[in-house]
Amino acid sequence: MENTAEDTKGTDVAVKGEAAIKPEFLTTKEKFHEFVDSEWQGSKSEKASQNDTDEEATETCVDEPEAKKLKLDPEEKQKAWKSDNKRLRGQNKSRPHTKPTTYDEKRLCLSVIKDNRQCPFGDKCHFHHDVAEYMASKPSDIGENCYLYDTFGKCAYGLSCRFAKAHTTPDFKTMEKADLVKAFEGRNLVKNNLSKDLQNRLRKRSVAFKKSEEYLKTLSKNRDKKEQQGNASADQTGEEQHVSTEAETQVQNSAQLNSENNLIYYSLSLNKPPPVKTVGPLTDADVIKLRPCEKKQVDFQDKLYLAPLTTCGNLPFRRICKRFGADITCGEMAMCTNLLQGQQSEWALLKRHESEDLFGVQVEGCFPDTMTRCAELINNNADVDFVDINSGCPIDLVYKKGGGCGLMTRTRKFEQIVKGMNYVLDVPLTVKIRTGVQEKCSIAHKLIPEMKNWGVSMITGKCLSLHGRSREQRYTKLADWDYINTCSKLASPIPLFGNGDILSYEDAMKARETGVSGIMIARGALLKPWIFTEIKESRHWDISSSERLDILKDFTNFGLEHWGSDTRGVEKTRTFMLEWLSFMCRYIPVGLLERVPQKINERPPYYIGRNYLESLMISQNVGDWIRISEMVLGPVPKNFSFLPKHKANAYK
């Protein structure tokens, strides 16, 4: 168990791993659930229209996670292993997963939604065309006001919207607000959508990757040269050999290109046909390559960086964090092979809202060819400020094929990937790494100096971010900020972001003392997205439960805007909200703490909040999270089930 408690204000040091809650709020497990359940049932009984909701909620409830066990000694651990002889599976293994499509049994045809146009599929169409029949079987509306209609003057989901009463006439016509529609006309709020044309070309493999092919040819030439020199080394001593590096090869290629360009200009000046076949007149773009010093520059210094978060780091959540002061945002990890195949679901991870003024995308891969082509694809078809290489992902699915943390142990491939992506990108390239793979064998300090030899410098817009844990540690131990400090000195003058265990402005101040260029926040933003405001204003925010509910309402509105306001969109928004609540419930209100601030690896005992809503929000019972979602998104469907994807493992 880690030493987590600190005697910062003269109070007694708390029990290791347990948060210090004021005694008047402490309770037992049974009393806590009795209080939450009784209040909820009492409020429900007042509403006759929702009598069946209690039964549905109890059916969908899943028992809360077991209390974290203390870390066993090696001998006890061996005994437990022998007695059980089975390895416990994570919560993400074989968990029940219901697609949002199953909640919408009867769907209205798109031709009816779009102004009653004639359906191109005719009798073969599987969707409903009878509006009256559809409206009779459609689930009841969630609320009286439609966020999309009130904000944009028009709801694209028409009659299928779960707030359709707000913009539907008695004869089933969809209304519009002309002034608002005109105000948003031609305005693109979300960028980086995958066009059908590009998707088809990617599927047919007809997209040209000119810069990538140039770089990959240099790799093959270098490989051939090394093989030839290796054969010749049998007759010569090692000291007599001279192996040209990749940098020298690229210089030779650029020199050859410049000589060809000069010859073209000379031929044109003499009115002679150029020795190289050209298409039309030459322009600056044809002959001048963007130099590294001319790449788009991004100021990473002293910024608050919202880390790329799988599942929870979606566009609506990033919008919430931007409102609270996040400076840099990054999309969720995207697989480069899926992007190259034109998968719509993977390209959705690259979407950027207009409020994200400094935005990057993170890609994962393990081969130089696919990563280089993916970088060129993003460079030519997406609006981003930087591209990040994920070399820190610890999950087996990524690591076992050589990606994520696996890249840190495959330095040759890693070098080729970095050089290739940097060659084709017009925006800065960043890299996210961990301390290493094994718990007691850190290698980041050895890898960072090598990155400088790969051509990494300030002028190339390079930036590093270091998570202060190894792959084996995951989140079971505190981040090693002393090691991050050592690496930041080795990385200078390259900016290095530190990541790990930031949950308060005091944690951020201590992190800045290590000499890092900026701070990357991950789980801290999931527990309380207002952490960015706390850091910038240097204060502890005792946020009320009603304010937290307002944040969830804003997330709901952003989710309906992003995923849709029909049944599919509503349930998808609910699912992502529940994933977020599985982290947010671990936040302890400042007013209930004996010792401020809360540490990220402290597990709270059972306690009751200052009001019912606060108590409901601190519950770790899945059923209570579902009740919170029902406050803003209406009752869950009858066949609804949920189990969080991420099992919090940060309390040991």
pLDDT per position as a tens digit, 206-239: 999 999 999 999 888 777 676 666 665 545 544 4
- The DSSP bridge pattern shows strands 352-353 and 190-191 to be antiparallel
Predicted local distance difference test score (pLDDT) of residue 219:
86
In the predicted model, is pLDDT for residue 524 greater than 90? yes
Q: How confident is the model at residue 255 (pLDDT cuts 50, 70, 90)?
A: very low
Which of 13 and 194 is assigned the larger pLDDT? 194
Looking at the fold, whether 180 and 308 belong to one and the same domain comes out as no
Range of the domain at 522: 303-541
> Is 330 in the same domain as 181?
no
Please state the φ and ψ torsions of residue 353, each to the nearest 5 degrees.
-85, 155
Counting residues of the chain whose pLDDT is more than 90, the rounded percentage is 44
26 has a pLDDT exceeding 60: yes
Do 518 and 374 fall into the same domain?
Answer: yes
Which one of 156, 187, 218 terminates a domain? Answer: 187
The one catalytic residue in 155, 330, 393, 585 is 393
pLDDT band at 455 (very low <50, low <70, confident <90, very high): low
Tell me which of 44 and 317 has the higher pLDDT. 317
> pLDDT tier at 121 (50, 70, 90 boundaries)?
confident
- pLDDT tier at 641, thresholds 50, 70, 90: confident
More confident residue, 117 or 162: 162
Average per-residue pLDDT in the chain?
Answer: 78
Closest CA to 563 of 145, 97, 100: 100
459 within a domain of the structure (yes/no): yes
Same domain, 320 and 456: yes
Residue 94 clears pLDDT 50, i.e. is over it: yes
Confirm whether 145 is domain-assigned.
yes
When pLDDT is averaged across residues 603-614 and rounded to a whole number, the result is 92
Distance CA 166, CA 293 (A): 54
What is the pLDDT, as a whole number, of residue 406?
83
- Whether residue 597 is preceded by a cis peptide bond, meaning omega within 30 degrees of 0, is yes
Task: Tell me the C-alpha distance between 396 and 205, whole Å.
Answer: 29
Q: Which pLDDT value is given to residue 352?
A: 97
Structure confidence at residue 76 (pLDDT) = 53
| More confident of the two residues 514 and 241 | 514
DSSP state of 18: B
More confident residue, 231 or 90: 231
- Token pair listed for 464: 């590093």
Residue 88 — pLDDT band, cuts 50, 70, 90?
Answer: very low
Average pLDDT over residues 239-267: 42
Inform me whether the pLDDT recorded for 285 exceeds 60.
no
Residue 574 located in a structural domain: no
Write down the pLDDT at residue 220.
81
Confidence of residue 127 (pLDDT cuts 50, 70, 90): confident
Q: Which residue has the tokens 């400088």?
A: 452
Residue 57 lies in a domain: no
Say how many domains are in the chain. 2
pLDDT band at 270 (very low <50, low <70, confident <90, very high): very low
Is residue 346, in this structure, part of any structural domain at all?
A: yes
When mean pLDDT is compared across 183-192, 247-256, 540-549, the lowest value belongs to 247-256
How does pLDDT run across 55-87, given as a tens digit for each residue?
Answer: 444 343 444 545 544 444 555 545 544 444 444
Say if 204 falls within a structural domain.
no
- Same domain (yes/no): 508, 369: yes
Asked if the structure places residue 172 within a domain, the reply is yes
Q: Which of 156-170, 293-307, 328-342, 619-633 has the lowest mean pLDDT?
A: 293-307
Q: Residue 341: its pLDDT value, please?
A: 95
Nearest alpha-carbon partner for 290 in 123, 101, 408, 428 = 428
- Judge contact between 144 and 135, C-beta under 8 A: no
- pLDDT number for residue 11: 36
**Residue 394 and residue 471 in contact, taking contact as beta carbons nearer than 8 Å:** yes
Residue (of 91, 160, 156, 93) closest to 131 by Cα position: 160
pLDDT number for residue 367: 92
Place of tokens 């497990």: 29
Examine the residue annotation and report whether 366 is marked as an active-site residue of this protein: no
Check which CATH number belongs to the domain holding 510 and give it.
3.20.20.70
Q: What is the pLDDT at residue 468?
A: 56
Q: Residue with structure tokens 């084709």?
A: 424
Q: What is the pLDDT of residue 420?
A: 93
The predicted pLDDT at position 378 comes to 96
pLDDT at 482: 87
- Say if residue 275's pLDDT is above 60: no
- Assign residue 628 a region (left: φ > 0; alpha: ψ between -120 and 50; beta: otherwise): alpha
Query: What pLDDT, on the 0 to 100 scale, is given for residue 137?
Result: 82
For residue 102, being part of any structural domain is answered with no
Structural domain ending residue among the three candidates 187, 207, 242? 187
Range from 174-183, 264-273, 333-342 carrying the lowest mean pLDDT: 264-273
pTM, 2 dp? 0.81
The per-residue pLDDT for range 367-399, each reduced to its tens digit, is 999 999 999 999 999 999 999 999 888 777 787
Structural domain ending residue among the three candidates 487, 513, 541: 541
Whether residue 316 is found in the same domain as residue 170: no
Which of residues 436 and 353 earns the better pLDDT score? 353
- Of 234-248, 284-298, 452-466, which gets the smallest average pLDDT? 234-248
